[in-house]
Amino acid sequence: MPEITEVGQNVYLLKVQVPINVESVNLYLIDGQVPTLIDAGTNTPNVIEAVNEGMKHIGMKHLEQVIITHWHVDHAGAAASFSKKGARILVGSRDYQEWASFVGGEGFSQFYRWATEEWKVPEKEISNMLKIYKGFHMLTALPDKVELIEPGQTVLAGDDSLLAISTPGHTAGHLSFYNEKDRILYSGDMLLPNEIPYPGIWQEGDRAVSGMSSYLKSLDVVEALEALTYLPAHGEPSDDPVARCQEVREQLYLQLDQYHSAETVYLSASNVGSQKIHPGVLFLKLHYAYGWEQLKKRVG
C-alpha cells in the first residue's frame, strides 16, 4: 500500500517511489465529479499499482483525467498507461512539444548541440551524460491522444475548477494549477519546500535559452496569487507559498552574487579541483552555470 494522506477536501497525496535520483514523487488524486490525477509518475509497474491501490483506498471508481504539470519523466512518464485505461491526458501545449521531442529522440541531438556549442563540454563527458539521459527515455511514453491546455484555461478537477498558471523555468511550459476557491496551488516542480529546481534549457527560435530568468518571473507570478497552501511534486505540502517564493528568490540572488564565471560554462560547472563529477551532478551544474551566465548578462 503506498503512502497516502488526505491533504484537502477529496484531495489525496500519493508518495510514490521512482527509479531516478529523487526520493519520491507526489501524485495527487482528486475525487468528485471529475476523478483526477495530477501528474503521472514514471512509466513503471510500481507507479501504476500505487495509483490503482490509492484509488481503491479512497473509493475512486475510475480515473477520468490526468493533468500534467510538466513533461519530465517522473511527472508525465506513465500518462500513456493511464490513457490506455480510458483517462484523458491534459498537458500544456508548450511542454507537449518538449515531451514529444524527447520521446521521438530529437531531444538527444538537441542536448548534444547545447553541450558542445553552448557549454563546451568534452566529448567523453557528453557521452556519460547521454547514457543517463537515454536511461530516462525508458521511463516515459507519449500517449496516442492528449488534450492541450493553455495558461489561463480552467479545468474541472474533482468538484473544483483549477486555473492553469504559466510558471516556466524548470521547463519551458511548466504549468501550476490554482484552486482559487480554497487558495491552494498545485505547484509541480516550480515551488518546492526543501530545494530549488534546476533551470531548464530550451530553444527560442535559433537561440538556446536558460530557464533561470523565466523562473524568477514565475516566482513573482506565484507570489502575486497569495495562495494559502501549495502542494508540491516533491517534499511535503506547505503553507505560505508567498514566504517560500521570497526565500527562494533571496537564495538565487545570493548564489548569483557568489558565482564566478570561467572561460566556458563547462569549466564553471566543473570547478571542483581534481575531484571527478558524477555525470548526473554535472548535468545539473551545467544548467545552473548556464543560468547564472545568462542572468549576469541581463543584470550586468
Mean pLDDT (10-residue bins), the chain, 300 residues: 89 95 92 98 96 96 97 97 97 97 90 92 89 88 97 97 98 98 98 96 90 97 97 96 97 90 89 68 92 81
Q: What is the pLDDT of residues 192-251, one digit of tens each?
A: 999 999 999 999 888 899 999 999 999 999 999 999 999 999 999 999 999 999 999 999
| Direct distance between the N- and C-terminal alpha carbons of the chain, in angstroms, rounded to an integer | 53
Separation of alpha carbons 255 and 188, rounded Å: 23
Nearest residue to 215 (alpha-carbon basis) of 151, 170, 165, 176: 170
| pLDDT confidence of residue 132 | 85
Q: Which pLDDT value is given to residue 300?
A: 58
Q: What is the per-residue pLDDT for 124?
A: 87
Pairing state of beta strands 88-92 and 147-149? parallel
Instruction: Quote the cell numbers at residue 131.
Output: 547514457
The CA dihedral of 208, 211, 214, 216, to the nearest 10 degrees, is -140
The answer to whether residues 51 and 37 touch, using CB atoms and an 8 Å cutoff, is: yes
